[in-house]
Structures are given as structure tokens and as C-alpha cells.
Structure 1
Amino acid sequence: MSATIPTQNVAIGGYDPVAYFANSAKAGDPLHSFDYEGQTYYFATAENKQLFQEEPAKYAPLYGGYCATAASEGKLFGVDPTNFKITDDGKLALFYRGEGGDTLPQWNENEAERRLAADQHWKNGTLKSGD
């Protein structure tokens, strides 16, 4: 699967951000859409859309939907929307998986350190487009 790069249009390649919290990467439906922070999110159900509308910060992916591992290295890189993790503090992290490998295992090796680095890069606006 090729990497999905977030755009100002459809977030997470059209996947439902709320569904991840039920441990499911599920495609959303444009009939159930909601704009948040410059991106349009699709939801599999009206109920999921309502949950997101009530608490968007709870369900929106970390780092604007870019790869969490790459963000920890100061890079912006697209993701495979089916490659995800709910972090210990209940946030959605997405990861690249493709010809270049799978970045989720790298994240899992030292999640606390990578999370701290990614959060700093994101907060400081120091992420650069990855190769």
C-alpha cells in the first residue's frame, strides 16, 4: 500500500478516526463528514461523527495524521492508514508501512522517547518534509 499523505482535504485517506478506538481501521463515508483544523474527516457512522464533533481533540490523529515515527525524527511522512496504535495516553498515532519498511516497530522500541521528540518537533514547527 502506498503512503497516504494528509492534505487540507480528506484526512487519514478517508478512514474514520473514531473507529481506530475500537481497534479497527475502517473507511469512512463522505456522507458523514466533518471539517476540523483544515481537514475533512469521514466517518463510518453518524454516531462516530457525533463522537468526534463532541471531542475532536480526543480522536484526531497526532501530528496532523503524519507518521509518528518520522515526526520523532523531525520529518513529515505519509502513512498507511491501516498501520496505527492507540498510545498509552489514548491518542491515535499513525505510521508508514510500504517499500521503505514499517515504522511502527521502531516507535514501539522506545515509545516514550520518540513521543517526547515528536511532540517537541510538532510544537516547535520544526518538522520537514521527509524523503
Structure 2
Amino acid sequence: MKSHNVRSGAVSLALAASSALALFPSTSFAFDEQSFAPINVNKQGIGVQGHDPVAYFTAAAPTKGKAEFQAAHEGVVYRFASAANRDTFVANPAKFAPQFGGFCAMGATMGKKFDGDPTAWHIADGKLYLNLNADVQKSWLADVPGNNKIANANWPKIATQTPKSL
């Protein structure tokens, strides 16, 4: 009888855990959850998952960069759709690099470092912001100034923490 109760409890726990996980959006976690780096990169050390950070401003769309047009900034390689975009970035990287190191802006509001999805983007006050996904971005967009105020206060405390530790 005791083993039946343990097995039944384990099944209940597993079902509860899977139900709880269903509430959270799934992500591919292209970033390293053990990294202390303040900038989100993929396994190859490329920022914005290979998307051109300048194109968000010039083409108003996420645009994949090309390996032949790349530049490094703060130890991160960024790829660009054209030599012109690369040169624009090199001239003023702070203007085009994503805020919060390319981690999710809403995550920073919550004191967390989540992966940034290059297709869940927004430009506010001339700055590029990424979010975990479109659903999370809706929450962030509900109060961009308020959320950014909180995220900017949190960022110095979490920037060099591992995502897993937060």
C-alpha cells in the first residue's frame, strides 16, 4: 500500500510540474545559462543570434547578418546584412547594440537574464530592446518607461550574474 501511495504521489507531482511548465513559454535557450557575461551570445560568440543590429533601425525589421560583414564590440561578434551597416555600427556601437546585452528586457525588469529573441524587438527612445518572445514582449510594451526604469536599476546587479543563478 505504501509503494502505491509513493507512486501515486510521484505521478501527481510529475503532472503538476508539467502543468506548471505549460504556463511558461518554451525557449530554445541559445545562450549559456552558466555564463557570467553581460552580453548575450550564441555558442559561436555571436550577438543578437546573428541578426544585424543596425537593420532594426534602417530596415525596421530583424535581418540576418552575413559572416562576410562582421565586427567585434566588447568581445562580441555582430553580423551585418551589408558593409554599410557594419561601418555604421563600428562608428557608433553604443547606438545600435541591444540594451541589457541583448538579454530579455522584461527579464531584466524581473531581475532575471532570459534569452533575447531577435524577432521580439522594439525600439524605444532610440534604443534596441529584445524580449524572450512576443507574449513576454506584450507585458513589457504595456509600460515601456516604467519597465525600463526598473530594468535599468536591476541591470548593474544582474549583468555579471549567471542566468541560472538568478
TM-score with structure 2 length normalisation? 0.70
Amino acid at match of 2:28: S
Within the candidate set 46, 53, 65, 1:17 is matched to: 53
**Amino acid in structure 2 at the alignment position of 1:104:** Q
Is 1:70 the counterpart of 2:126? The answer is: no
Calculate percent identity across the aligned residue pairs. 35
- Give the deviation of 1:7 after TM superposition: 2.4
The structure having more radius of gyration, on CA atoms, is 2
- TM-score (normalised: structure 1): 0.88
1:67-86: per-residue Cα shift (whole Å, max 9, x none)?
Answer: 00001111000022111000
Task: Describe the superposition over 1:58-117 as per-residue Cα deviations: whole angstroms up to 9, x where unpaired.
Answer: 000000000000011110000221110001x110000112xxx72111111111111011
Task: Identify the structure with the greater helix proportion.
Answer: 2
Distance 2:93 2:136 in 1: 25
Q: 1:37-116 maps to which residues of 2 (within 5 A)?
A: 37-87=74-124, 89-97=125-133, 102-116=135-149
| Selected match of 2:153 from 113, 120, 126 | 120
Which structure has the higher relative contact order (CA within 8 Å, separation 6+)?
A: 1
Unaligned runs of at least 5 residues, structure 1: none
TM superposition shift of 1:30 = 1.0
